[in-house]
Amino acid sequence: MARTDAIVLGAGIVGTSIALQLVRRGLSVALVDRAGAGRETSYGNAGVLEGNTLFPHLFPNDFGELLRIALKRAPQANYHLDFLPQIAPWLWAYRANTNSVEARMIFAKAMRPLFAEAVAEHETLMQEAGATGYLRKDGWLKLYRRDSSFADTQAERDYAAAHGIVGRVLDAAGVLALEPSLAPRFRHAIHWEGAASLSDPLAVTKAYANRFGRQGGVFLKGDARALHRTGAGWRLDTEEGAVDSSNVVVALGPWAPDLLETFGIRVPMKWKRGYHLHFRSRDNARLRRPVVDVDNGYCMAPMDQGLRITTGVEFAHRDAPPTPVQFDRLLPAARDLYPLGDAVESQPWMGSRPSFADSRPVIGPAPGQPGLWMAFGHAHWGLTLGPVTGRLVADLVTGATPFCDPAPYRAERFSR
């Protein structure tokens, strides 16, 4: 029987970062996952560290765009018809949390402390883990094909300017000076200079996991659903044997509810499924930084594996078979913008982003379960917020003064 100060369930970027931050504080820590580090949801992203993020992703209000989504013709979103009854209340709540400037400001004020420290916290861990070679600090570009979609960014740009965050508006010539391989198929662009990106997010997660091991942390394979109470503490049966601890951190992403419901904890979390596929480039073309085609709902990001194209969202059950139809809708626009070659893989990757309707994660103690902590629901920002979430969780678990107010991330906000 082994005993540790903390067990972290889930070795995605969030769980791995939490485990590393805890072991850096001198705690004995077991990191438990059914697979290797970063192999699930954390693997599929655009590799962007969005330290510049201010507002949540907006619910579309344009009637034409909504109609195209409803008719399954839009590249930005797809849905499974049989899932709509389950997701409809969540979508209505999501709309209420994004459809006004006031609602967006609530998100911005709540999340800015995490986003403001996100890139620096990654840099600290990357330096310790020997992973700085994957880091690029060239920002990212957002391209707008329609005047109306660019006009929708005004409130965000005003807020950014007031807080010293650089979002440089560019014309086509300015964009092509940064990315000459793009075609001028857009009317406006913003270069968010404070963002960073990674050329291989999986390799960075693995580097953090290796650093965790070198500092004395233990990686174990096991099923989180085997967690149970033993006296005043917790016990988890793993492939290597049972582990006891007084603290357990649930960082299971979209699978967190599967465990928490067994302890009577229910959270209103859903998931946004997403896909990615790598492509080769033609004609010696290249990108230096991630580029978002906002009006077509996809991102092109240069990776070590090729040019990764990530889709918009798909509303479907987490475990439903993949339906990567959004590639058929977005690839014509992508090929018109950039000289794409052949796909590297035969099939797209698919994952589920765990998301709450207010776009904030849950970080903090589990209600009614002493010693159980929660850290999941990061939506599109799991990669960005992994290390800074780990820092906040480490503050809470060790009883240190939290570096920011954790109240906006507590699960109790849903019971008000």
> What pLDDT digit, counting tens, does each position of 172-206 carry?
999 999 999 999 999 999 999 999 999 999 999 99
Q: For residue 325, count CB atoms less than 10 angstroms from its CB and return exposed for 0-12, middle for 13-18, buried for 19 or more.
A: middle
> What pLDDT digit, counting tens, does each position of 374-400 carry?
999 999 999 999 999 999 999 999 999
Listed in sequence order, the residues at least 6 apart from 3 whose beta carbon sits closer than 8 Å to its beta carbon are: 28, 243, 244, 245
**Sheet strand arrangement including 196-198:** 48-49, 196-198, 135-136
Exposed e or buried b for every residue in 189-200, given b needs 16+ CB within 10 A?
A: bbbbebbbbbbb
Between the two ends of the chain, the Cα-to-Cα distance in Å is 41
- On the CB side of 114, how many CA atoms lie within 13 Å of its CA? 33
**Sheet strand arrangement including 228-230:** 2-4, 241-245, 233-238, 228-230
How far apart (Å, rounded) are the C-alpha atoms in residues 31 and 77?
35
% of residues, the chain, pLDDT over 70: 100
Q: Tokens for 117?
A: 């420290």
The amino acid sitting at 55 is F
- Reply yes or no on whether the pLDDT at 284 is more than 80: yes
How far apart (Å, rounded) are the C-alpha atoms in residues 16 and 14?
6
Domains within the chain, CATH numbers bracketed: 2-42+202-268+358-415 (3.50.50.60), 72-80+140-193+270-355 (3.30.9.10)
How far apart (Å, rounded) are the C-alpha atoms in residues 55 and 106?
9
> What pLDDT digit, counting tens, does each position of 301-358 carry?
999 999 999 999 999 999 999 999 999 999 999 999 999 999 999 999 999 999 999 9
Given this model, what pLDDT does residue 1 score?
61
Q: Tokens for 2?
A: 């082994």
Residue 300, strand partner residues: 291, 309
Mean pLDDT across 2-18: 97
CA-based angle 354:355:361, to the nearest 5?
95
Q: For residue 43, count CB atoms less than 10 angstroms from its CB and return exposed for 0-12, middle for 13-18, buried for 19 or more.
A: middle
- On the CB side of 372, how many CA atoms lie within 13 Å of its CA? 23
Residue 302, strand partner residues: 307
26 — pLDDT class (breaks 50, 70, 90): very high
- Of 4-13, 118-127, 407-416, the range with the lowest mean pLDDT is 407-416
- 3-state class of 80 per DSSP? coil
Helix (H) or strand (E) holding 162: helix 154-162
Q: Tokens for 241?
A: 């044997």
Comparing CA positions, the residue from 94, 129, 112 lying closest to residue 13 is 129
Q: What is the DSSP string of 374-391?
A: EEE--GGGHHHHHHHHHH
CA-based angle 332:338:341, to the nearest 5?
80
> Which residue has 């601890």 as its token pair?
245
Comparing CA positions, the residue from 254, 134, 137 lying closest to residue 206 is 134
Whether this prediction's pTM lies above 0.95 is answered by: yes
Q: Tokens for 292?
A: 């978002």
Listed in sequence order, the residues at least 6 apart from 133 whose beta carbon sits closer than 8 Å to its beta carbon are: none
